Amino acid sequence: MMRLAVLVLAALLAAASPAAAQAPLTAVRVPGSGPIVDPGAGVWRAARGVTVPMLPQTVTAPQKPEPAVNTLTVRAVHNGGWIGFLVEWRDPTLSTRIVVDTFGDQVAIQLPVDVTGPTPSPMMGNPGGRVNIMQWRAAFQHDIDYGPPSVKDLYPNAWTDYYPDEVLSATDARPYTGALGVENPISRGRASPVLDQMAEGWGSMTVKPDQHALGTGVWKEGVWRVVITRPMVSDDPNAPRLTPGVKTVVGFAVWEGGNQEVGSRKAWSPWVPLVVGAAAPARPAGATPPTGATGQPAGGRR
Amino acid sequence: MARVHNWQLGREMDFPYEARRPDRQFAMIFDTNKCISCQTCTVACKTTWTSGRGQEYMYWNNVETKPYGYYPLGWDVHILDRLGVQPLDGPVYQGKTLFDAAPTGEIILGYLPEDIDYAHPNIGEDDCTGLMPQGAHLSMPHMQWMFYLPRICNHCTYPACLSACPRQSIYKRKEDGIVLLDQSRCRGYRECARACPYKKVYFNAQTRVSEKCIGCYPAVEGGRQTQCTTSCIGKIRIQGFLGAPDAPDPDNPLDYLVFVRRVALPLYPQFGLEPNTYYIPPVHVPPPYLRQMFGGGAEQAIATYRAAREDRKLLGALLLFGATPEISHFFRVDGDQVIGYDAKQAEIVRVPLHEPPAVRELYDVKHRAYRTNIT
Ligand code: SF4
Ligand code: SF4
Ligand code: SF4
């Protein structure tokens, strides 16, 4: 009953969403091939930055009525094979260390799986209205850049006598490894800091068996610049087909770990119109370079 | 919100899910009068289940000294303070549950402890309420007091952890009411750790998801009591199953002690979770403290307990504590013995109601030594 009420409300909100008033995001055709993962790459200068207002998630419990991030600046490009989104926001606190009372910074991009059908609920889809959610996590980025944190990394003064994996065979020690032992995908950032997922409504988020999303996040001077990229077309039935000329929608969610934002305690955007550009315009009107961009290729990470 | 019946409150209450009672409910009874805080239970659980990386300060079983011991720090006073003063008198609880008290946009009233709060599992250990001044004397209840409170997950009938999880990663088993947290489904939101007023869900910073007591389900499925029960030095525990609160079986030792004799009481029943670990209250502690912690039946429970010597069935049930590693589904007092039976009514243990006194010679001829203790 509660779920139905939520869906009805979500549908109402979808209908009343300010998508029409929102400036559309155009994925500009750029030269090149392969994944677009570098937030400092020159290709972003071709794309117009769109400001996306972020709202507190207040439809379902639990909530964070005052999330820290109010706007994102988003750019999109594609090279015919991969589509990339550069998302930037101000975040004065770098949150990558996750212990009991700390949460990581995160950002997610949501696309309808069926880009030609009815628009799903902007709130993680609805039954029959499946969405593809690609979520970048600062903690995963940290795992990839610096290696997964050991107990000593998290607690420099920690001391233990020994662990099961030091005295038992790998098989016998496995029961002591918890979620790592059952390969819970959220335990570690592995090949990519971005989780490729699908959902059909609240609580239904599933990490897909095939991971196609890639990306990179860099935090510098209080600003996160995160790229999320995916193949425009794949054989994954739960991925959108984003061929040139497609007009669809895209949604965003952001979590400020330093403000204890996690799960449904987040800021989200209504749907933003998304156009997959057919060809590169000579010079996009009003194009501005992304925040902090120098025109140089990315000079490495933090 | 669904309406459910909470027998511990004597009334219906709101719960976020439709909830059906399990076929039988995993339960444990602790006799606080016998606990010596040796922490053998804590270590038994730790070596069995939580000795991995990221579990260093995780104690699914802990034993704290009341009133100044807490793990995590201040867990009960923090949530009692947030809930505020509630009326506790009378057979029907008139106050608010934690579900009733949920702030707007929350499922339940809760709080997330700080990391450092888990760093002092022994804080307050053996601390008494105060000093004994000149002229102090022994009285009941004691003028100054402390007691040991062993705790595990309560495998609540209406679990806060389960109701707060947006992903339904926590589930309550129909066959025995054990509450489990799915290690492959959890995404580390810590809503459960925030919601559980007993703070019996823990976060593992190595795996980035939450973990909790599993009720030793592999042992329980095999008819054996949990590790923390069978290892208990003080024989203060019994673990088994509760039946339906409205149709208790007087031959089931847990039904008998909890429902029939009401000598074992739930921990902070006012929270509204219908917790399923039960405590025989300490006889020497002032009643107002016990009423807050165990509900209005605390004084009656103590009176019943203190008369157990003359009460053969009650004495028999109490003597099953620590008597066998197997789960006693039924019991019967036969002559001067109590007999425990397994689920198939086969005898598993026999305990004398009275230890025959043995008196030894003061002088041990063989060892050529005097004995200081001859009974
Ligand atoms: S083993 Fe038994 S007596 Fe010792 S601390 Fe645990 S519950 Fe108390
Ligand atoms: S004690 Fe806490 S963790 Fe255990 S079932 Fe109850 S609410 Fe859940
Ligand atoms: S029941 Fe088992 S898992 Fe739970 S506290 Fe006791 S020993 Fe640990």
Can you tell me the ipTM of this complex? 0.91
Instruction: Spell out the domain ranges in chain B.
Output: 2-241, 311-375
**Nearest CA distance, B342 vs chain A (angstrom):** 29
CA neighbor of A180 nearest in space, from A156, A160, A151:
A151
B185 neighbourhood in chain A, CB within 8 Å: 184
From B28, B29, B32, B39, the mutation candidate for ligand 1 (largest count of ligand atoms within 8 A of CB) is B39
Q: Is B155 left (phi over 0), alpha (psi -120 to 50) or beta?
A: left
Beta carbons of A268 and A55 less than 8 angstroms apart? yes
What percent of chain B stands above pLDDT 90? 94
pLDDT value at A260 more than 70? yes
CATH code: domain B2-241 is 3.30.70.20
B191 neighbourhood in chain A, CB within 8 Å: 62, 263
Q: pLDDT value at position A13?
A: 44
Q: For residue B38, report the distance from its CA to the centre of ligand 1, in Å.
A: 5
Beta carbons of B129 and B85 less than 8 angstroms apart? no
Beta carbons of B168 and B180 less than 8 angstroms apart? no
Q: For residue B282, report the distance from its CA to the centre of ligand 1, in Å.
A: 14
Per-residue three-class SS string for chain B: CEEEEECCCCEEEEECCCCCCCCCEEEEEEECCCCCCCCHHHHHHHHHHCCCCCCCCCCCCEEEEECCCCCCCCHHHHHHHHHCCCCCCCCCCCCCCCCCCCCCCCCCCCCCCCHHHHCCCCCCCCCCCCCCCCCCCCCCCCCCCCEEEEECCCCCCCCHHHHHCCCCCEEECCCCCCEEECCCCCCCCCHHHHHCCCCCEEEECCCCEEEECCCCHHHHHCCECCHHHHCCCCCCEEEEEECCCCCCCCCCHHHHHHHHCCCCEECCHHHCCCCCEEEECCCCCCHHHHHHHHCCCHHHHHHHHHCHHHCHHHHHHHHCCCCCCECCCEEEEECCEEEEECCCCCEEEEEECCCCCCCCCCEECCCCEECCCCC
CB within 8 Å: A262 and B167: no
Q: pLDDT value at position A285?
A: 44
Q: Cα–Cα distance between A257 and B277 in angstroms, integer?
A: 36
Residue A144 backbone phi and psi in degrees, to 5: -75, -40
Size of interface A-B (CB pairs under 8 A): 117
Question: Would you say how long chain B is, in residues?
Answer: 375
Q: Which residue out of B53, B78, B106, B204 would a mutagenesis test of the A interface target, given it has the greatest number of A Cβ atoms within 10 Å?
A: B53
Q: Cα–Cα distance between A227 and A138 in angstroms, integer?
A: 12
**Nearest CA distance, A279 vs chain B (angstrom):** 40
pTM score: 0.92
Beta carbons of B211 and B53 less than 8 angstroms apart? no
Q: pLDDT value at position B19?
A: 85
Q: Which residues of B lie inside 8 Å of A (Cβ-Cβ)?
A: 1, 16, 50-56, 102, 105-107, 112-115, 118, 164, 166-168, 183-191, 193, 202-209, 211
Tens digit of each residue's pLDDT (9 = 90 or more) over B30-40: 999 999 999 99
Tens digit of each residue's pLDDT (9 = 90 or more) over A45-98: 999 999 999 999 999 999 999 999 999 999 999 999 999 999 999 999 999 999
**A153: CB partners within 8 A, 6+ apart:** none
* Top CATH class, A26-141+192-276: mainly beta
Q: For residue B338, report the distance from its CA to the centre of ligand 3, in Å.
A: 27
Q: Which of residues 196-255 of A touch B (CB under 8 A)?
A: 202-203, 205
Q: Cα–Cα distance between A60 and A133 in angstroms, integer?
A: 18
Q: Cα–Cα distance between B53 and B253 in angstroms, integer?
A: 39
Instruction: Spell out the domain ranges in chain A.
Output: 26-141+192-276, 149-187
CA dihedral B253, B257, B260, B263 (to 10 degrees): 170
From B71, B183, B227, B276, the mutation candidate for ligand 3 (largest count of ligand atoms within 8 A of CB) is B227
What percent of chain A stands above pLDDT 90? 82
Q: pLDDT value at position B14?
A: 97
Q: Cα–Cα distance between B88 and A64 in angstroms, integer?
A: 33
| Chain B CB within 8 Å of residue A177 CB | yes
Q: pLDDT value at position A280?
A: 52
Q: How confident is the model at residue B357 (pLDDT cuts 50, 70, 90)?
A: confident
Q: Which of residues 61-100 of A touch B (CB under 8 A)?
A: 61-63, 65, 98-100
Angle at B300 between CA B297 and CA B304, to 5 degrees: 130
Task: Please state whether the peptide bond connecting residue A149 to the residue before it is cis, i.e. omega within 30 degrees of 0.
Answer: no
B205 neighbourhood in chain A, CB within 8 Å: 98-100, 149, 151, 154
Tokens (6 digits) for B159:
């679990």
Q: pLDDT value at position A3?
A: 42
Tens digit of each residue's pLDDT (9 = 90 or more) over B227-264: 999 999 999 999 999 999 999 999 999 999 999 999 99
Q: For residue B65, report the distance from its CA to the centre of ligand 1, in Å.
A: 12
Q: Which residue in chain B has the smallest CA separation from A150?
A: B206
From B228, B241, B327, the mutation candidate for ligand 3 (largest count of ligand atoms within 8 A of CB) is B228
- Average pLDDT over every residue of A219-248: 97
